[in-house]
Amino acid sequence: MLVLGSGCGVRKVRITNNARSESLQQTPKPNPNLTKNLSSSSSDKNAAPTAAFNSKQTPAERIAEYIEIFGPVAQGEMETFRIPASITLAQGLLESGNGSGRLAQEANNHFGIKCHTGWNGKRIYHDDDRKGECFRVYQNPISSYRDHSLFLTERRRYAFLFDFNPTDYKAWARGLKKAGYATDPKYPQKLISLIERYQLDRFDKQIKFKKRKKKTLSKAPVSSILHTVALGDTLYSIARKYNVALEALIRLNTIENNTIYPGQKLKVPQ
């Protein structure tokens, strides 16, 4: 799946450019305070900027710096998407080799996200489950964090995770395994161990959410308005825009496979 083991085979990297540039919805801008740690230029036009770690650091120093750099980024994603910052940060640490893995260093890909259908950005080929698999290349590591959030929010099999309290990292860790995010049977324990060893849940506790009102189902006829699907719209983004339940939007429009298209008229329950 997505998890990159430390024993991945080494293979010559090949990066290609597609005609269309990568497009991530609402890609966050890097925190100005982190610019010293995120390089923005390179002599190689095909190379993407990476987190500039000191090669002489000890493993403990590298982990501490990774947490310092990406902790605030994970918090920003938590505020927007309600994914625990501790979970995102632990996944980043685990799957990027604390930022030192090949995909993190050469592709700014901290979560081992593969190309999948519809990716139009740069690509990098790397041995994982199979030889020469296609992985996404990001403009900077923060774009990788945003795509990780979109990956979880826009796939229906992860929808049940968002019923958990966003500070319940143990439920999220076990839920990710249940949803098939990783094939490693010890994946939840590894995330929980990282969170507790480095007290990553402190990032969760600093985020305050308004208490959600419990939704009740009504047998009365549902009134609705029409939304015209625009390029870049997703079911999740539309549901958030109108503050309605994703399942209600899908049920009202009898949508199959979560597929929508630009110009489509969707009924939005009111």
With beta carbons less than 8 A apart as the criterion, state whether 201 and 195 touch. yes
For the chain, domain boundaries? 15-205, 224-269
Half-sphere exposure of 31 (CA within 13 A, CB side): 14
Task: Give the pLDDT score at 253.
Answer: 83
Distance CA 182, CA 1 (A): 5
pLDDT given for residue 55 in this prediction: 64
Question: What pLDDT is stored for residue 7 in this prediction?
Answer: 35
**Which CATH number fits the domain 224-269, given the four candidates 2.30.30.830, 3.10.350.10, 3.40.630.30, 3.20.20.140?**
3.10.350.10
Per-residue pLDDT of the chain (270 residues; tens, 9 = 90+): 443 333 333 333 333 343 333 334 344 444 444 434 454 333 333 333 445 566 678 999 999 999 999 999 999 999 999 999 999 999 999 999 999 999 999 999 999 999 987 788 899 998 876 788 999 999 999 999 999 999 999 888 999 999 999 999 999 999 999 999 988 999 999 999 999 999 999 999 998 876 555 544 444 455 778 999 888 888 888 888 888 888 788 888 888 767 788 888 888 887
| Amino acid 99: pLDDT | 93
Residue 41 is predicted with a pLDDT of 33
Cβ–Cβ contacts within 10 Å for residue 21, how many?
Answer: 10
- The long-range contacts involving 35-39, CB below 8 angstroms and separated by at least 24 positions, are 37/65, 37/69, 38/69, 38/140, 38/141, 38/142
Predicted pLDDT of residue 52: 54
Cα dihedral 93→94→100→103 (10° resolution): -110
The Cα 262–Cα 35 span in angstroms is 37
Closest CA to 47 of 17, 82, 5: 17
User: What pLDDT, on a 0 to 100 scale, did the predictor assign at position 220?
Assistant: 46
CATH domain 15-205 topology: Lysozyme (1.10.530)
Convert 32-83 into a string of H (helix), E (strand) and C (coil): HHHCCCECCCCCCCCCCCCECCCCCCCHHHHHHHHHHHHHHHHHHHHHHHCC
Report pLDDT for 53: 61
Give the pLDDT score at 247. Answer: 78
Residue 257 pLDDT: 67
**Close Cβ partners of 170 (under 8 Å, ≥ 6 residues apart):** 188, 192
Structure tokens at 84: 């625990």
Q: What pLDDT does 156 receive?
A: 87
